[in-house]
């Protein structure tokens, strides 16, 4: 699985743990930065990772900022990106299995490296359930997206 990763300065302390875990899980990593602790603007990284996922250059994405919330808000503005902030393993896998989540957002000031590793493993090991009710719900989400673009 190819996973795009991006963070801002608030997520920088967790980034290496995330990258190491992805590689240990056999994932190919697309690292969009940031590459240091200097202050940067999180939407720039959310856009890069989100576009990589939406365009099919990566199957999944992981974004890390201080809380995970800003990255989630920004990434969800890109059609085809379904990002959520998750700080528990149930949400990290259930979001994929039931909701089609394709971008995991983490808070570098909220969780530590060991929890981040567990969340990344849960996220990349999860697969969409494919059940009729889940497909129906995702179709409704995509209809909302289309309507927001003016396609509907």
**Of 7, 27, 65, 86, which residue is the catalytic one?**
65
- The secondary structure of 91-136 as a DSSP string is HHHHHHHHH---EEEEETTTS-HHHHHHHHHHHHH------HHHHH
Evaluate whether 95 touches 84 at the Cβ level (below 8 Å).
yes
Q: What 3-state class would DSSP assign to 22?
A: helix
CA distance 84 to 10: 17
Residue 98 catalytic? yes
Evaluate whether 69 touches 98 at the Cβ level (below 8 Å).
no
**Of 7, 9, 86, 98, which residue is the catalytic one?**
98
Residue 35 catalytic? no
**Residues annotated as catalytic (active site), given as ranges:** 65, 98
């Amino acid at each position: 699985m190819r996973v795009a990763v991006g963070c801002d300065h608030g997520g920088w302390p967790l980034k290496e743990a995330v990258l190491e875990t992805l590689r240990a899980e056999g994932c190919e990593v697309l690292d969009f930065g940031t590459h240091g602790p200097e202050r940067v603007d999180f939407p720039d990284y959310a856009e890069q990772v989100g576009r990589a996922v939406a365009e099919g250059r990566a199957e999944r994405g992981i974004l890390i900022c201080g809380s995970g919330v800003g990255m989630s808000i920004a990434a969800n503005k890109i059609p085809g990106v379904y990002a959520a902030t998750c700080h528990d393993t149930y949400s990290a896998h259930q979001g994929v299995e039931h909701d089609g989540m394709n971008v995991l957002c983490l808070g570098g000031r909220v969780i530590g490296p060991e929890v981040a590793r567990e969340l990344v493993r849960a996220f990349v090991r999860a697969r969409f359930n494919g059940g009729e009710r889940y497909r129906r719900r995702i179709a409704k989400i995509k209809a909302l997206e289309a309507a927001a673009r003016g396609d509907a």
